Amino acid sequence: MTMTIGQATAQVRPPAARIRTQVTVPLEFPDGYRTTAEVFTFTGLADGREHLALALGDWQNAANPLVRPHSECLTGDVFGSQRCDCGPQLREAAERITEAGGFLLYLRQEGRGIGLYAKLDAYALQDTGLDTYQANLALGHAEDARDYTAAAQMLQALGVDRIQLLSNNPDKAGQLGDLAVEVTEQIRTGVHLSAANARYLEAKRDHTAHTLDLTGAA
């Protein structure tokens, strides 16, 4: 399902970043799915972190590429944690972007930007009854500390200023639009529901308006 996104009311183009390295990396996921990425690194990113852009499919000829900004999740992406939907979203994005042509932006902002240890501390608080946002606040952090300035810089360094956004999160569309990246459509990811992440997904849907239809999801 897609949503048409209006023009941002105020735009500020971030400082320019530059491509520093491009390298071909064959990828294989645990379920056997394979694709090949052109992996880009950058200099001049606003937060100084080592973010990556993975160009997939026929990205060079994609006038309006499919893009997913994916925040790093060690527990979900690497260890297959069932407490979130990050690992399945990463796997889904790799295939859908390969088919459409575009970019997977792997952003090093674990735990909605609060870091790995703090995320695990938040998990412990969630086990006492808080939801994911309440737990972050209880630890003295913002509900969501992520900033997509570096994502906009990466796209602009790659010569991309209009995209189809693969995300359920309206904040990503809003921030990118404000950073002079035109989001022509917001395309939902699938619903990756498990017994362990149902409350987490409900909080994302109800508290931050993620476009998640959990009705009948298995």
Residue tagged active-site, from 144, 161, 206, 213: 144
Is 146 known to be catalytic? yes
Catalytic residue among 58, 146, 206, 213: 146
Q: Which residues are annotated as a binding site?
A: 68-73, 84, 86, 89, 110-112, 132, 167, 172
Please give the single-letter amino acid code of residue 97.
I
Q: Measured between alpha carbons, how far is 131 from 180 in angstroms, rounded to an integer?
A: 33
Whole-angstrom distance, CA of residue 168 vs CA of residue 190: 9
In angstroms, the CA 178 to CA 176 distance is 5
Question: Minimal CA–CA distance to 93: which of 104, 101, 83, 82?
Answer: 104
The token duo for 200 is 């987490």
**Alpha carbon distance 98, 183 (integer Å):** 19
Residues of each annotated binding site for Zn(2+)? 73, 84, 86
- Known catalytic residues are 144, 146
